[in-house]
Amino acid sequence: MSDCIAIFLIASSILLLGLLGGFFFYKKLLVQSTYDAVTELPNRINFFNALTQHLLKYPTMPFAIIAIGIDRFPQINQALGYQIGDRLLNHVAQRLKANLNEASMIGRLASNVFIVLAPEVTNQNFKKYYEKIMEIFSQPFSVYTVNIDLDVLIGFSFYPTDGNAAAPLIQKADLALYAARHSVDRFECYQENKDPHHRNKISLMSELREGLTQNEFQIFYQPKVNLNKGHITQVEALIRWFHPTRGEMSPDSFIPLAEETGHLKNLTLWLLENGIKQCRLWEEQKLSLGVSINLSVKDLLNKKLPIYIGSLIKEHKLDPTLLTLEITESAFMREPHVAIDATRKLIQLGVNLSIDDFGTGYSSLSYLKKLPVNELKLDKSFTQDIVHTERVAQIVQSTIRMAHTLGMTVVAEGVSDEKTVNLLKHFSCDLGQGYYFSQPLSIKDFEAWLATSPWGKT
């Protein structure tokens, strides 16, 4: 009998141990599936579930969902290695946890994006919270022996204004974060008109495709005047959309959207074809006007673009030196390798390369070492200040000197009065562009301008 009891006790102990082991194993699995291993924070699914519970428990309490993104994290990972990258994310998570004590939950939404549920934060009082987050990131992070300064982008969505369920609130904070890339203060609150998924914009995109086949687009030309010769030598091609119901639309209202949704490619191809045709036409008329065409960073991702431009030049028998491609300085910051590789291939075609909006990209100028750039276009924010601000005038003058030393010509954008023209001439600036000479004009108006303007004789 005592043997039976002993066997029973041993068997039940084994069973209990097995159950306990299973329980701990299950618990470990649960932790692994709901917590992120790198940051030890709740993962996206866990955050989503907790937010859903929060909404059920406190339906009348306002709050904010805040997406915090580490800017240029892929570049940091590339430069310092994944081990340091992971450690850095862990440090960020710990610092957020230690400092955002009012937050009821902090999670990791994506590789470099953290997500916070902040009770009592509303669209009236969120600025204080924004400042607090900026303060958290004002000190560098020390990982092993490396000190790393981080820039952050912040997106806010608010309950109940922006939605009453977890999914739209998280998605809208994330969209606001995306829009924050273009904001000087590095934050945005969700706004329907900045939402690329907004219905109005979706319909705009299908209209864009339609518009190309219906000839709703036109190229306007703005003179680039040679200040030394005193007349036009080039034009910049600027796209216009004459929408059947919305009226004339400026490129700023549809180019960024076309970029985001992959529709820019066809627009660029259309513009290149028509701009090159027009340039050839002027060449045949012995006008010899160079044409500048804007390329966006998304165009540079199109590997076939240099081949396409090459074949257009050949087909229309154009002197390639008459074509200039304008690429914004920020493209070299956003996608440095892509931009440098693509521009190298474009330069091989014999065309000119121009750096647009120069001075606004916070750039290290290192791309200038690597690329034979022909032209710098000083951003209009500089040009418009040279007559009022001595310091800006000095910056412009030394930029022109530097560009000339490197064999580049300089175009000042946004020239709006005679005083500016005289000062630019004094600084030996090569070309001027702006409303003082002319607004961008339709081909008909431009040809009239050519015939009548004192700057129009070539």
Smallest gap from residue 303 Cβ to ligand C2E (A): 17
DSSP per position, 26-69: HHHHHHHHHB-TTT-SB-HHHHHHHHHHHHHH-TT--EEEEEEE
Binding mask 296-335 for ligand C2E (x = CB under 6 A): x-----------------------------x---------
| Contact residue for Ca ion among 36, 283, 357, 430 (CB under 5 A) | 357
Q: Which two tokens stand for residue 177?
A: 């974060």
Nearer to ligand C2E, 139 or 253 (CB): 253
User: Sign (positive/negative) of CA torsion 430, 436, 439, 441?
Assistant: negative
Peptide bond preceding 251 in cis form (omega within 30 of 0)? no
The answer to whether residues 65 and 51 touch, using CB atoms and an 8 Å cutoff, is yes
| Contact residue for Ca ion among 162, 174, 207, 356 (CB under 5 A) | 356
Closest CA to 236 of 248, 249, 250, 225: 225
Smallest gap from residue 335 Cβ to ligand C2E (A): 14
| Contact residue for Ca ion among 39, 46, 268, 294 (CB under 5 A) | 294
| Contact residue for ligand C2E among 3, 248, 252, 284 (CB under 6 A) | 252
Q: Within 10 A of 103 (CB to CB), how many other CB atoms are there?
A: 18
Report d(CA 377, CA 458) in Å as an integer: 22
The answer to whether residues 437 and 227 touch, using CB atoms and an 8 Å cutoff, is no
Does 440 contact ligand C2E by CB under 6 A?
A: yes
Smallest gap from residue 374 Cβ to ligand C2E (A): 16
Q: Which two tokens stand for residue 30?
A: 């649960």
Does 261 contact ligand C2E by CB under 6 A?
A: no
323 binds, among Ca ion, ligand C2E, none (CB under 5 to 8 A by kind): none
Select the span of 75-83, 195-203, 244-252, 331-339 touching ligand C2E (CB under 6 A). 244-252
Report d(CA 317, CA 313) in Å as an integer: 6
Does 375 contact Ca ion by CB under 5 A?
A: no
In the complex, which residue's CB is closest to ligand C2E? 434
Does 299 contact Ca ion by CB under 5 A?
A: no
Nearer to Ca ion, 65 or 249 (CB): 249
Binding site for Ca ion (CB under 5 A): 294, 326, 356-357
